[in-house]
Amino acid sequence: MSATIIDGKAFAASLRERVGAVAADFARAAGRQAGLTVVLVGEDAASSVYVRSKERASIAANIAGTVHRLPATTTQDELLALVATLNADPAVDGILVQLPLPKQIDSHAIIAAIDPDKDVDGFHPVNAGRLASGLPGFVPCTPLGCLMLLKDRLGSLSGLEAVVVGRSNIVGKPMAQLLLAESCTVTIAHSRTRDLAATVGRSDIVVAAVGVPELVRGAWIKPGATVIDVGINRVTLADGTSKLVGDVAFEEAADVAGAITPVPGGVGPMTIAVLLRNTLVSAYRREGLALDESAL
């Protein structure tokens, strides 16, 4: 293995520490803590684990973390009513409705009902538009975390060839917008891309956000490229045990790439750290207090 391993776990820990220190400053200046409210509908096991981690991480970072746990039978109107209450609550800086939602609820309608200035997940169409237009807003946490890791590793990204494999609204598309804003030459690949190997092969930066275990092979990677693996896939091994793997064949790619994120311990830990960062940014903006957002 020749690649440098990008330690997302350590980077996320230091980001959470910075956020915690600035959040303490905020509480002193504003006379209240920054507030993140998470809404969980139903009892999906993975979602419950994510929500508990978000609650714990908020408290550790001096941010008031509140969770509303609603039954799986909650109606769309009931959820919309809760979102309206949170929009109007001055102590709430960030609202996050945990996805997926039960099938009787239209997640697009719920996301569209969140005040864009409290949409710390960055999923609201207004925030997608702001990102595309270069206006300040909120950027989805996972791609923003990927960008932080890339800039920490490479400094300026200007002029680099980048490929984003995957075009979802929560990862692929915002990732491509962020790389474009950094003056990369960006290709977005997806399931209809004719020659994925060649597209990946000309790229200095590869971001894989697909959800297919080890789709991106080491032989595709340009020597020295920086590889960011967003995928989290649980696969069953021959002996019946299971393990997590990314969307990139790690061992192969690490022989060719200049740097690569592992799974787990790469992009995954960045998401919650960026969520806390976005919540704190929201709190500063809403109180009209000065903050150097680029330093967070």
The smaller minimum CB distance to ligand NDP, of residues 185 and 233, is found at: 233
Q: Does 149 bind ligand NDP (CB under 6 A)?
A: no
Sign of CA dihedral 177, 152, 206, 168: negative
- Active site annotation includes 121: yes
Minimum Å distance from CB 213 to ligand NDP?
9
Q: For this structure, is 54 an active site residue? A: yes
| Catalytic residue (choose from 93, 98, 204, 229) | 98
Binding of residue 210 to ligand NDP (CB under 6 A): yes
Is 268 a binding residue for ligand NDP by CB under 6 A? The answer is yes
Q: Which is nearer to ligand NDP, 82 or 150 (CB)?
A: 150
**Residue 219: Cβ within 10 Å count:** 13
Is residue 279 a contact residue for ligand NDP (CB under 6 A)? no
User: In the set 6, 40, 267, 283, which binds ligand NDP (CB under 6 A)?
Assistant: 267
Q: How far is the CB of 112 from ligand NDP (least distance, A)?
A: 18
- Nearest residue (CB) to ligand NDP, 32 versus 217: 217
Question: Binding of ligand NDP at residue 232 (CB under 6 A)?
Answer: yes
Residue 194 touches ligand NDP, criterion: CB under 6 A: no
Residue 184 in contact with residue 172, Cβ under 8 Å? Answer: no
Q: Which is nearer to ligand NDP, 113 or 209 (CB)?
A: 209
The one-letter amino acid code at 1 reads: M
Burial of 295 (C-beta count, 10 Å sphere; 0-12/13-18/19+): exposed
Q: Among 94, 172, 174, 218, which residue interacts with ligand NDP (rule: CB under 6 A)?
A: 172
CA 90 vs CA 85, 123, 210, 253: distances in Å: 10, 21, 38, 48
Q: Which of 93, 119, 121, 204 is catalytic?
A: 121
Torsion of the alpha carbons at 77, 80, 84 and 86, rounded to the nearest 10: 130
Q: How far apart are the first and last CA of the chain?
A: 32
φ, ψ at 183 (rounded to 5°): 70, 30
Q: How far apart are CA 195 and CA 250, in angstroms?
A: 21
User: Residue 8 is inside which H or E element, if any?
Assistant: helix 8-30
**Which residue numbers are catalytic?**
54, 98, 121
Interaction site with ligand NDP (CB under 6 A): 142, 165-168, 170-172, 189-193, 196, 209-212, 215, 230-233, 267-268, 271
